[in-house]
Amino acid sequence: MAEHHTGKPGARQDTPDDRQRLRCILAVVPRPSPKKASKRPPPVDHAAAKPRTSRPSLPLTRERIAQAALQLIDAHGLADFSTRKLGAELGCEAMAFYNHFPGKEAILDAVVERMVAKVAVPPREAGTWVERARMFARSFRALARIHPRAFPLIPTRRFNAPGTLAMLESVYATFLGEGLDPLAAVKVYRTLGNFLAGTALNEIAVAEFAAAAPTTDPAATTLSSLATVAPYLAPAYFDEVFEFGLEVVLTGCQHLVVQDNERNRPGAR
C-alpha cells in the first residue's frame, strides 16, 4: 500500500490500523475523575463556643467565692445552697472551687468567717469589760438581722478559720486584760455566747413564723396564759426583751466574777 505524505518529507502518516490501536490503548487507561469541590467545615466562632454568663469573667479568689456563697444563702436559704448553684452564679464549674477550698464545708467556714468579720470587739478605751461585752453582744446580734438565713451557720459550726479565731482571740483578750482568770473568761464568754446564739435563732424563727402566718392561731386562744402574753412575743418587743436578758447575763456574770475573786483572794477563808 502506498504511503501518503503530508507536511515534512519523511513524516509517517497514521493509518486506520494505527488509529484503531490507539483507541484500544486509551480504552484501558483509567481516566482521572473530575475533582469535586472540597467541603470545608465552617469556621469556629470561639467566642460563641464559650459559655455565656451574665457577668464579666473575673478571676476566682477565696474572698469572691465566699461573698457569692453568702449572697446566695441570703437569697435562697441554706438548704438550697450547693456548689453547683454557686458555680452557676459565678459563671464557672463547681470543680473550679477546689483550687481554693477543699470542699463545700470549707466554703461554709469561709462564709462564717466573712460574717464574723462584721462583729465589733471594742478596744480597751471603750470602757470596762462589761461595757465592752455589751457592745460586742449588740454587734453580734445584728448579724442575725443582716443575714437571717446564713446566721444559723455561726452557732452550729466550730470556729476554725483565721478570721473567726481572731475574733475569739480579741474577746478573750478583753476578759483576760481586765483581770479575769482563764476559767472565769471562758465562763463569761460561753454564757454570753449561748444567750446571744439562742436569742438570735429564736428571733429568726419567730420573725419567719410571723411573716408566714400573721393571723392568730385559733388553738392559742384556748390557752388563757399564752393568749395574755402573746402580743409581747411578737417581733415588736424583740429589742426590749433582748436588752433585759443581756443585762441579766452581764450583771450576773459580773457579780459571780467578783465573788470568785473574793473567794480566791490570798488569805480569804
Q: For 208-227, write each residue's pLDDT tens digit.
A: 888 776 555 665 568 899 99
pTM of the model: 0.73
Dist. CA 67–CA 111, nearest whole Å: 7
- pLDDT tens per residue across span 222-253: 889 999 999 999 999 999 999 999 999 999 99
| Claim to verify: residue 211 and residue 143 sit in the same structural domain | yes
CATH code (residue 83): 1.10.10.60
| Claim to verify: residue 151 and residue 80 sit in the same structural domain | no
Residue 261's H or E segment, with its range, is helix 238-264
Helix, strand, coil tally for the chain in percent (to 5) = 65, 0, 35
CATH code (residue 231): 1.10.357.10
DSSP designation for 150:
T
CA atoms within 13 A on the CB side of 214: 1
Which residues span the domain enclosing 61? 57-115
The interaxial angle of helices 104-116 and 162-177, nearest 10 deg, is 40
Domain count, the chain: 2
The mean predicted confidence, pLDDT, of the chain is 83
Whether 33 shows a pLDDT value over 60: the answer reads no
* Structure confidence at residue 210 (pLDDT): 81
| Claim to verify: residue 142 and residue 229 sit in the same structural domain | yes
| Claim to verify: residue 126 and residue 248 sit in the same structural domain | yes
The interaxial angle of helices 104-116 and 62-76, nearest 10 deg, is 90
Taking residues 170-190, report their average pLDDT. 95
On whether residue 236 sits in a domain, the answer given is: yes
| Claim to verify: residue 212 and residue 256 sit in the same structural domain | yes
- pLDDT tens per residue across span 61-111: 999 999 999 999 999 999 999 999 999 999 999 999 999 999 999 999 999
In terms of Cβ atoms closer than 10 Å to its own Cβ (0-12, 13-18, 19+), residue 141 is buried
On whether residue 196 sits in a domain, the answer given is: yes
* Structure confidence at residue 211 (pLDDT): 79
| Claim to verify: residue 235 and residue 204 sit in the same structural domain | yes
Q: Of the candidates 66, 91, 115, which is a domain's last residue? A: 115
| Claim to verify: residue 126 and residue 111 sit in the same structural domain | no
* Structure confidence at residue 23 (pLDDT): 59
Backbone φ, ψ for residue 82 (5° rounding): -155, 160
Q: Three cell numbers at 73?
A: 444563702
Whether 38 shows a pLDDT value over 60: the answer reads no
* Structure confidence at residue 209 (pLDDT): 85
What Å distances lie between residue 42 and 39, 45, 46, CA to CA? 9, 9, 12
Q: How many residues does the chain have?
A: 269
On whether residue 7 sits in a domain, the answer given is: no
Q: Of the candidates 85, 115, 145, which is a domain's last residue? A: 115
